[in-house]
Amino acid sequence: MDREWPLPPGDIQLWVCRDELIVAADLLAEYAAVLSDSERQRMAQFHFARHRHQYLVTRALVRHVLSMYRPGIPPQHWCFAYNDHGKPCIDPVLDPSQSLHFNVSHTDGLIVMAVSRQAIGIDVEDLQRQGDGVSVADTFFAAAERHDLQQCGAAHRAQRFFEIWTLKEAYIKARGEGLAVPLDSFAFRLGPSCGHSLQFNPPTTDARHWQFWSTLLLARYCLAVAACHESPRARFCLRVQEVIPRVRTLDLACLCRRQAAPHTVTPPWRLPGICATPEIDLG
């Protein structure tokens, strides 16, 4: 692809990939060909084939998507660096101005990559994942979040847990400081009684610079995005594409649903510092 994919300063572009749909041997061989030696070694360390498969598609996705924004750099030539907390970024040799930021998250059957001009964080979780969310919340959530979760009806408690968890993970990943930011030092209040707010303890000076999204994908995946703008008055524009690396991209804007069948969702909400999109149906 010779044309540079446009990325306006206020855009956050999400690339959604259902890795389980990618089974063609020749395509997977092309993906393997663009990986670095260290990535191939890392892939070989996974015990289960499905984990090796998802790792392969994830690394190919990152490399091919980045080459859409920088067509002069072939997918196999991308190099990456890591900050002191392990957050990956493009090697400064390839992006001296640090004008291209990305973040990746994956869960069973789904990979999502976010690209922006600003620091970005993303997290996705499978609502069908088994686990004791209440125990996790008791360990990592702020007191206000634990209270809200306990007040949530049993039928909705698991989804509310993942909504809070993915928002917290996205925020931590966007900051790039890992667990140096304690997970109980900030609280997402999502219930109607608390006004959908974000509270910091202690207070932070950049609270109004942050913007968040929370949405459902395929009525199965809980997705959250966090981004920090230089100006507290600025607003990002979130765009979503489904992609199979090297094969196709599909603009999903026309598929974003506002309380539309077949899935009922909470209406979009937008308040200072936090916003959410309606459910996205990939078809």
pLDDT along the chain (283 residues), means of 10: 84 94 94 98 97 98 97 97 92 94 97 96 92 85 91 86 94 90 89 73 80 88 90 83 81 35 29 46 50
Total domains, the chain: 2
State the DSSP code for 103.
E
Same domain, 92 and 77: yes
pLDDT digits (tens, 9 = 90+) for 216-265: 888 899 999 999 887 777 788 888 989 999 886 654 443 333 222 222 22
Task: Specify the CATH number for the domain of residue 167.
Answer: 3.90.470.20
Same domain, 73 and 133: no
State the DSSP code for 256.
B
pLDDT of residue 193: 64
Same domain, 199 and 129: yes
**Residue-number span of the structural domain to which 112 is assigned:** 1-116+235-255
Same domain, 24 and 106: yes
Beta strands in 74-196 (DSSP E): 80-82, 88-90, 101-107, 110-116, 120-126, 186-189
In a domain, 222, yes or no: yes
Same domain, 244 and 112: yes
In a domain, 65, yes or no: yes
- Cα–Cα distance for residue pair 163/274, rounded to 1 Å: 13
pLDDT of residue 189: 87
- Cα–Cα distance for residue pair 91/194, rounded to 1 Å: 42
In a domain, 194, yes or no: yes
In a domain, 267, yes or no: no
Q: What token pair was written down for 161?
A: 């847990």
Same domain, 2 and 104: yes
Same domain, 86 and 137: no
User: How far are the Cα atoms of 54, 83, 157, 250 from residue 263, in angstroms, in the given order?
Assistant: 27, 40, 18, 21
In the block, residue with structure tokens 């990986």: 35
pLDDT of residue 266: 31
